[in-house]
Structure 1
Amino acid sequence: MEVGEDSWTETVYQFIWEQTQKSKSKEAQSQYRTAMIVWTNEWKNIRTDMFDTYLRHKRLRDEGDIFLGIEHLNERCKCTSTKSRDVAFIDRDNHCYESVPFCNCIPDPVRLLARGFIAVSPDTPKTTISISLVQFFETIWESVPMSVSGFAEGLWRWHTLRGEPHISQITHRPRNGGPLLRQALFVFRDLLLQEAQFNREVLPLDPVEELSTKCPACFGPRVEGDLQAGDSNYILAVDGNFSHSRPSTAAKNDFAKIWPPSFLHKSYIEYAEHEENTTGGKGHKAVAEGDSFPQKINTFVSLLREW
């Protein structure tokens, strides 16, 4: 089913615009912009096929019909004309290079996605990252936001401890994992966006049902008999800080009892009032209404010194 592409196009072209603002020559900016437009159009051309394949892979994985491991990547297509190419497969625990047969009837990223891996390039991908790894990062990020580059660097070190380091087959230098993981996240999040749009179109939900898809515990179906007559069916909390109570901190920092440092403390006022009542104002020069401002200050300072 075709889904809306406005958000996808807007996001991609916003990304292109930000990249072209870097300090490069106009010629370099033009070349980069052209390359990004080509890259975006290539992804857009296979976007529907990618989404259909993602749903099929998700259903089969949930039903347990197939096991999508690295050792099953060499399954051949029914096409008679195929061409094999080495591809780097990156998972949570390891990475490896495998020879995969490709054909002209199925785009390379679609073929790889059917086996549970997201290609980092729409055209002739040489690196692919498993869906489970991307979901693993997304789950951690929801609890502890972290840098994509930092996570990739730590993952690279973990893989090095378990085997060989990530080395480019062309330059024979360590690969930069940040851009690779970032591209996979970009594709994966677009698949999630398409899935949400698809569900809204296929399953017309009322407002409460739509909220129940986000929080089943609050808005989902109730257990029969758990709600007494007259009780509220559901409660929507506008302020989400109810569980952030800090009584010890609040007791030490009661703003109603904190005296601003720029204010004259109450004890000074009480002392001046006491002196005025006990001496009747004798022995001190009263501040006359016609006195200049320096004279008023001097009188006030003399009172403080005596105190």
Structure 2
Amino acid sequence: MTAAEKRVQEARDREAERFREWLDSIKVHHKQVAKQEKQRRADKLISALHAAYLALQAKTNNWSSPNRFQNFSNDFCKCDRSKVKDRRVNLIDLDSRRREQIRFCCCASDNLHLLARGYIGASPFAPHTAFSIPLLRSYIQLWKQCEAGNLPVGTQVWLEAKFGDLLTPSGNRQRFQRHFPIAVGIYGALLDRSNETPEDTLNLTKEEAAGLVSCPVCSGRTIRESRETSPNEINRPL
């Protein structure tokens, strides 16, 4: 290879490297935009669900009363029959699982209709699987007492042991390790929003907010009324 040919080849290599860097920057930008859009939609969903969550929490005594799985959709939706659609959803509880025809509408999110029945959808949009709030609450209590490093494997083993015989419409086994964390995330975000509400309303300092967490009696609540902790807060320093 002559010196001129070598210089041409080096120039081509530099150009190819710049092109690869440009492609990488485009990919990173698209990932950031997608992540921001996903977070924006998640925040919008939580904002839409939170008021209903608080109302239903009070109505069902935090989903511990006999009416915890009663359908309260009529409290939030007044659509006539022409504006609703039915879809089968896998409803999974601590001791039961079933496929049920759920009625959805255009004026309220699918997750709001599921929340009105005591369930959290495993997808922000058009979920086909939903987990009960008592199950999610029990899971979070177990999560706080288990080794976090074993969480992905342990979660799948636990779910398969309880619900392994529940199949998809095509006859395949459910992929709970993909669906369940989404429901946990939505439920955890609702807990976070509930826990932040008194702090924001009272304009508390960081020290006062820490006291609200660590000493419920000091904030005027009994131990029984102490707030629930989401997975996002378990390692929060006081």
* Superposed pair shares fold, TM > 0.5: yes
Aligned to 2:179: 180
State the TM-score, normalized to the length of structure 1. Answer: 0.52
CA shift in 2, pair 1:53/1:220, >3 Å: closer
Alignment partner of 1:118 out of 111, 115, 120: 120
**Secondary structure at 1:179's aligned position in 2?**
helix
Give the fraction of aligned pairs with identical amino acids, expressed as a percent: 21
In structure 2, C-alpha distance between the alignment counterparts of 1:113 and 1:125, rounded to whole Å: 12
CA shift in 2, pair 1:43/1:220, >3 Å: closer
Kindly report the root-mean-square deviation, in angstroms, between the aligned alpha carbons of the 2 structures.
Answer: 3.6
* Matched ranges for 1:161-240 at <5 A: 165-169=165-169, 171-205=170-204, 210-216=209-215
Between stretches 193-202 and 82-91, larger displacement belongs to: 193-202
Segments of 4+ in structure 1 off by > 6 A? 25-35, 63-66, 70-76
Q: Deviations over 1:86-132 (max 9, x none)?
A: 01111111211000111101111111112221111122111111111
Paired letter, 1:168: T
Aligned to 1:68: 68
- Shift in Å, 1:55: 1.1
**Secondary structure at 2:103's aligned position in 1?**
strand
Paired letter, 1:78: K
CA contact (8 A) 1:117 1:130 kept: yes
In structure 2, C-alpha distance between the alignment counterparts of 1:92 and 1:218, rounded to whole Å: 31
Return the index of the structure with the highest Cα Rg.
1
Aligned to 1:138: 140
**Secondary structure at 1:49's aligned position in 2?**
helix
In structure 2, C-alpha distance between the alignment counterparts of 1:193 and 1:150, rounded to whole Å: 24
CA contact (8 A) 2:92 2:130 kept: yes
- Shift in Å, 1:194: 1.3
In structure 2, C-alpha distance between the alignment counterparts of 1:206 and 1:35, rounded to whole Å: 34
1:150 aligns with 2:154: yes
Q: Which fold has the larger relative contact order, with Cα–Cα distance below 8 Å and residues 6 or more apart in sequence? A: 2
In structure 2, C-alpha distance between the alignment counterparts of 1:76 and 1:180, rounded to whole Å: 26
In structure 1, C-alpha distance between the alignment counterparts of 2:216 and 2:71, rounded to whole Å: 39
Where does the alignment leave 5 or more consecutive residues of structure 2 unmatched?
1-23, 221-238
Between stretches 196-205 and 115-124, larger displacement belongs to: 196-205
Paired letter, 2:155: F
1:100 aligns with 2:102: yes
CA contact (8 A) 1:168 1:175 kept: yes
Paired letter, 2:157: E
Where does the alignment leave 5 or more consecutive residues of structure 1 unmatched?
1-24, 222-307
CA shift in 2, pair 1:58/1:35, >3 Å: same
CA shift in 2, pair 1:26/1:155, >3 Å: same
CA shift in 2, pair 1:27/1:149, >3 Å: farther
**Secondary structure at 1:96's aligned position in 2?**
strand
**Secondary structure at 1:175's aligned position in 2?**
coil
In structure 2, C-alpha distance between the alignment counterparts of 1:73 and 1:93, rounded to whole Å: 23
**Secondary structure at 1:100's aligned position in 2?**
strand
